[in-house]
Amino acid sequence: MWITILVVLALIEVGLPLLLFLVRDRVTFFPSTRPTPEEGLEWLNGRTEVALIRIPRPDGRELAAYDARPAGAEGPDTPVIIFFHGNAGNIASRAPLLEAFVAGTGVRTLLFDYSGYGGNAGSASEREVYLDGLAVYDSVVEGGVLAEQIVLYGESLGGAVALAVAAQRPCVGVVVQSSFASLSSMASRVYPWLPLAGLLVRGAFPSAERVGELECPVLVAHGARDEVIPFAEGERLYAAARPGAEFLRVEGAGHNDFFVTAGAAYLGLVGKRVRTWTGHGGVSSGE
């Protein structure tokens, strides 16, 4: 009997982590094809100007994106936030949030969908979302925006993508909200009874390592009551950043209600940081 129990436990401790590793993209990314990007535009109330655009990748595929601008946001000297959303939903489901975000920060913002999201061709993986982010960044620059005016904003898993792009492209600042130190760290917290799970994904989404290499300003924001990505992950990410990084604890905020709880004061703070960073013109040491 004891041998049987030990065999079952061994199968669980080894087999389940291996299974999670094999289907890691399916348990990491939760793309939605509906509502469509066009349908998302119908939910806007006109507070900002939002246009649906298509951004080409080097392989010929296109990514749907919303280009949202406050009044008077034009020219190469105008700050631009590239917004990297989390692992679930799509840009259409975030259309009202985008409008409120732009109205609250006063900054032109580009919100795009990853491969496999919102009707985009392809499927999401760590490699693919990095390529998506780089394609969007390069498109913004090719459109005439200076690197000194670009800020990367990453929400949840999008924080890891934003940091990956910042490691390869110059930007003036990065905001990482409700994100994690690494996928391995998250796996260890979610599956503490499966130590092999964290080991198998070691090296995936190494945000703590990347944030420590950035020379540009970094703001890490995290809800104190985050039930999806523990607050300690945000603290760990901030601890890995270079001196001068800023940490913002948002009391009462969970994961999915972060913007509602943080409110206008948070958006105003982000807008203020963006204007300060772009006004000083400091640039990270991306390749």
Which residues are within 8 A (CB) of 173 and not within 5 positions of it... i.e. 6 or more apart? 151, 152, 216, 217, 218, 219, 273, 274, 277, 278, 282
What the block records as the tokens of 270 is: 């982000």
User: For residue 194, which amino acid is it?
Assistant: L
Q: Is 156 considered catalytic here?
A: yes
User: For residue 236, which amino acid is it?
Assistant: R
**What pTM did the predictor assign?**
0.87
All structural domains of the chain, each given as residue ranges with its CATH number in brackets, are 2-280 (3.40.50.1820)
| Upstream peptide bond of 96 is cis (omega within 30 degrees of 0) | no
Q: Is 226 considered catalytic here?
A: yes
CB 158 within 8 A of CB 86: yes
Beta-ladder partners of 127: none
CA distance 173 to 268: 16
CA 155 and chain centroid, separation: 4
Selected catalytic residue, list 115, 156, 178, 184? 156
Note down pLDDT in tens along the chain; length 287 residues. 556 554 444 444 444 444 444 445 555 777 878 899 999 888 887 778 899 999 999 999 999 999 999 876 565 568 999 999 998 899 999 999 999 999 999 999 999 999 999 989 888 898 999 999 999 999 999 999 999 999 999 999 999 999 999 999 999 999 999 999 886 666 566 655 444 444 444 446 789 999 999 999 999 999 999 999 999 999 999 999 999 999 999 999 999 999 999 999 999 999 999 999 998 444 444 44
Q: What is the DSSP string of the chain?
A: -HHHHHHHHHHHHHHHHHHHHHTHHHHH-EE---S-HHHHHTT--SSSEEEEEEEE-TTS-EEEEEEEE-TT--STTS-EEEEE--SEE-TGGGHHHHHHHHHHH-SEEEEEPPTTSTT-SS---HHHHHHHHHHHHHHHHHTT--GGGEEEEEETHHHHHHHHHHTTS--SEEEEES--S-HHHHHHHH-TT-HHHHHHTTTSS-HHHHHTT--S-EEEEEETT-SSS-HHHHHHHHHHSPTT-EEEEETT--STTHHHHHHHHHHHHHHHHHHHHHHHT------
Selected catalytic residue, list 25, 125, 255, 257? 255
Selected catalytic residue, list 139, 182, 226, 284? 226
CB 143 within 8 A of CB 67: no
CA distance 198 to 210: 19
For residue 182, the model assigns a pLDDT of 80
Q: Is 113 considered catalytic here?
A: no
